[in-house]
A and B are shown apart, each in its own frame.
Chain A
C-alpha cells in the first residue's frame, strides 16, 4: 500500500515528460519560417474553421462576411465557431487542434501571440502577395504587430471619442463641446447637479478609473502620454502621465472622492440600457463608436453629440487624436490549411466591399483607408466623428507588451489609489509602477 503514491508519481512523471515532448514536437508547425504556404487553386475544394468570440446577431454578420469568401473560392467550406475566447485559442494551439483562422477581441494579447509564435508570422505572405500595408491606418497597424513581427491582421476597429449630452450642456449655457481639458473641467463642473443633501444627481464628467471606458490606455493619447521610453522600457514617469492624473484628481476633488464613489456605485452597467449616459446621469464621457448604435436603439430620447476628446490647453496639436483597438485575426500555429487561411484573412481585412458591409453590419469602424472613404459606408452625423478620427492619422493603438494587460492593470491600480488620495508623489509613484512593469516583462523573458 505504502508504495502506491510513489508509483503514481513515477508514472505521472513519465506521462509529463511525454507531454512536454509532444509540445516540443508540435512547435515545428506547418510551413512556418520556411516561406508561405501556397494559396489554394480557385476551384479547389477545402474547408476552413474560424473561431471567434462573437455570438448572436454579430456572429451572423461575421458569418455572412466569411461566406462572401466563396466569391473568390466557390468550393470553399467555412465553419464559423463563435464564443471562443483567447484561453480557448491558446488551449487549441497547445493541444494541436487549433482552427485555421482565429479572431480575438483582446488586442492586449498581440504581444504574446506574436512573440510566442502562437500566431504565425504573416510577413512571408505579405511579401509574396505584394500587399501594401499603407492602406491600413498606422495606429491599427501598430496593434496588430509586435516588435516588427506582423502576426495578425485587423478586422474592423473601435475608435474612442467624446460623447456629450446636448440638453445637459445647453441647460448649463454651453453650446459647443469642450476642446481643451480646462474647458472639460469647467463644463463638467457647470453641468453637475447636486441634490439638497449634497449627494450627486448628475455628474458632468465622471473621472474615476476604472469606469466604463475610463481606462489608462484610452485616456493616454489625449494627453500625449506614451507607454515606453525610447529604449523600450516602461516609461510612465513623465510629465504627460502626471498631467493626465492631475487632471483626473482635480475633478475627483471637485466632487469629493466619497460622494463620487457613492454616485458611481449606483450607476448601471456599461453593457445594459441602464448605462449612466443613456439615463442622462453623466453629461460627458469617453466611449467607442459602437455606443452610437446602442443609444439609438436603447435611449432614442437622449440628444447627444460626439467630438474628438479634449486635449491639454498647451497641446492643441493633439486635438483629433484618439484611442483605437479592434478585432485581430491570425493563423494559429499548427493550423491545418495556412495557405487558404491567409487568403481568407486577406479577404476579410482588405476586400473593400466585405469590410464596408461588415462595418455596416456590426457598427464598427472599417480598418482600411479605402473602406473608410467608401460611399457605401453608412455614416450619420455622430458616427462621422469617429470616421474622421480614424482618417486623421493621429490615432494611437493599444499599447503592446508580451505580458497581456499587466501594464494596464498596474497603471489602472495606480490611478485608483491616486484618485483616493493615497499617493503623495505622482512621479515617484509612477516610477514604482515602471519598475514593476519592467520586472514583469523581464520575468516573461521576452
Chain B
C-alpha cells in the first residue's frame, strides 16, 4: 500500500468495483434463492403445517422425500422425462442448427419472409393449436405415447431456430466468408466455423430445450396422461391432489426432486459457456 502509492487509486477503485459488483451478485443470488428455500421448507413440513403462514417447519420430516416414492412410481416417470427431454434436445439440434444457419448466414430471396414465419409460429396460443394436433395424433393412434411430444423437435422448433439464428448473427460474417474463400462448402462452413464459434449459444439453446421439455406439463398431460406408464415427472404433482384436499408438502417435495436433475445438469453444462469465451479468443 505505502510502497506503490502511484498505483493506490487504481487499486482502490478496483477494490470498490469488486465489492460493489459482488454485493449486487450476492443480493441477486439471495433474492433468487429465497423462494426456493420456502419450497424446501414446505417440502419437509408435516402435512398440517404446509401452505400455512407458519413458514419454519415445526418438525423436520425428511421422510417426505421417501414417502413420495411410495406414493408414485417416480423412477418410471424419471425415465420417461429423461427420454422425452433427451430425444427432444437431440432432435432439436439436428433440425434447428441447419435451419438457423440458413436463416443467419446464407443470403437468399425470401429469407426475411421465412424468418417472420418462424417468429409467427410461436404466436398461436398452445391451447388452440393443441386441438387439431391432438386429433391428428390420435388419428395416427399415437396418443398415450411420447411420440407426439418428441417428433416435432426432429422437424421444427420455432423457439430454438429463432434463438440459434440470433446467436449466429452475433458471429461476424467475415469468418464465414473467409471459410468460403478457403474452399469450404456451406455445410463445412457451418460445421467447422459457425457451430464451434456459436458453441455457447448452441449449448444454451440445447439446455433450454432440455429444461423446457423437462418441465413441460401441458404436452405430457394432453398426450400421455391416459397411460401412467408413460407419465413424466412433471405430471407427478397431480398424484398429490384429491377432490377436496391437497398435500402441499409432498407436492413441494416432488417439485424439488423434479428440479434436482435439472439443477445438476445446469451446473455441469454452464461450463460450456465459459469454454466458449476462451475458444472464441483463440480463434481470433
Contact = CB atoms under 8 A, between A and B. Distances in A.
Contacts of B117: 5
A272 interface: yes
Contact of A83 (B135, B136, B235): B235
B247 to A, nearest CB: 7
Interface residues of A, number: 45
A68 to B, nearest CB: 20
Contacts of B138: 91, 94-97
B225 to A, nearest CB: 6
Given A1-B108, A268-B51, A105 B134 contact: no
Contact of B240 (A55, A95, A362): A55
Interface stretch (A15-23, A174-182, A224-232): A15-23
A54 B243 contact: yes
Given A55-B239, A55-B242, A273 B50 contact: yes
A92 interface: yes
Contacts of B135: 19, 22-23, 94-95
A84 interface: yes
A84 B240 contact: no
Contact of B247 (A5, A22, A56): A56
Nearest to B223: A91
A443 interface: no
Give 10 closest A-B pairs by Cβ, nearest first: A95-B138, A274-B52, A273-B48, A272-B51, A1-B110, A83-B238, A271-B246, A290-B244, A19-B135, A298-B48
B143 interface: yes
A53 B239 contact: no
Interface string A243-271: 00000000000000000000000101101
B248 A19 contact: no
A58 interface: yes
16 contacts: A2-B109, A4-B110, A16-B132, A18-B139, A19-B139, A22-B135, A23-B135, A54-B242, A56-B71, A81-B226, A83-B241, A92-B226, A95-B134, A95-B138, A268-B52, A362-B243
A365 to B, nearest CB: 13
Interface in B198-254: 221-222, 225-226, 228, 235, 238-248
Contacts of B114: 1, 4
Given A88-B225, A273-B49, A57 B134 contact: no
B138 to A, nearest CB: 3
A105 B139 CA distance: 28
Nearest to A12: B132
Contacts of B47: 273, 298
A84 B137 CA distance: 19
Contacts of B136: 15, 19
Given A19-B139, A83-B225, A272-B51, 4 more contacts: A1-B114, A54-B242, A99-B226, A271-B245
Contacts of A16: 132
A287 to B, nearest CB: 10
A132 to B, nearest CB: 28
Interface in A1-47: 1-2, 4-5, 15-16, 18-19, 22-23
Interface of A: 1-2, 4-5, 15-16, 18-19, 22-23, 51, 53-58, 81-84, 88, 91-92, 94-97, 99, 105, 266, 268-269, 271-274, 288, 290-291, 294, 297-298, 327, 362
A223 to B, nearest CB: 25
Contacts of A273: 47-52
A95 B143 contact: yes
Nearest to A289: B244
B110 A272 contact: no
B109 to A, nearest CB: 6
B53 interface: yes
Given A83-B225, A84-B225, A97-B143, A272 B134 contact: no
Interface string B84-108: 0000000000000000000000001
Contacts of A290: 243-244
A15 B143 CA distance: 18
A165 B225 CA distance: 42
A274 B239 contact: no
A103 to B, nearest CB: 10
B46 to A, nearest CB: 9
Given A19-B135, A54-B242, A97-B138, A272 B52 contact: yes
A105 B245 CA distance: 13
B68 to A, nearest CB: 11
Interface string B124-142: 0000000010111111000
A58 B242 contact: yes
A410 B115 CA distance: 42
Nearest to A18: B139
A94 B134 contact: yes
B177 to A, nearest CB: 22
A360 to B, nearest CB: 15
Nearest to B245: A271
A23 B139 CA distance: 10
B228 A81 contact: yes
A253 B37 CA distance: 40
A105 B244 CA distance: 11
A211 B234 CA distance: 29
A57 B242 contact: yes
A56 to B, nearest CB: 6
Given A5-B117, A273-B49, A83 B245 contact: no
B243 A58 contact: yes
A290 to B, nearest CB: 5
Interface centre among B108, B109, B117, B134, by most A CB within 10 Å?
B134
Interface in B136-176: 136-139, 143-144
Contacts of A22: 135, 139
A362 B132 CA distance: 38
Contacts of A266: 53
- From B117, B136, B228, name the one whose CB has the most chain A CB atoms within 10 angstroms: B136
A58 B247 CA distance: 13
B249 to A, nearest CB: 10
Nearest to A53: B243
Contacts of B109: 1-2
Nearest to A269: B51
A332 B3 CA distance: 88
Nearest to B236: A83
A273 B49 CA distance: 7
Nearest to A273: B48
A272 B50 contact: yes
A54 B71 CA distance: 14
Given A1-B109, A19-B135, A294-B244, A274 B226 contact: no
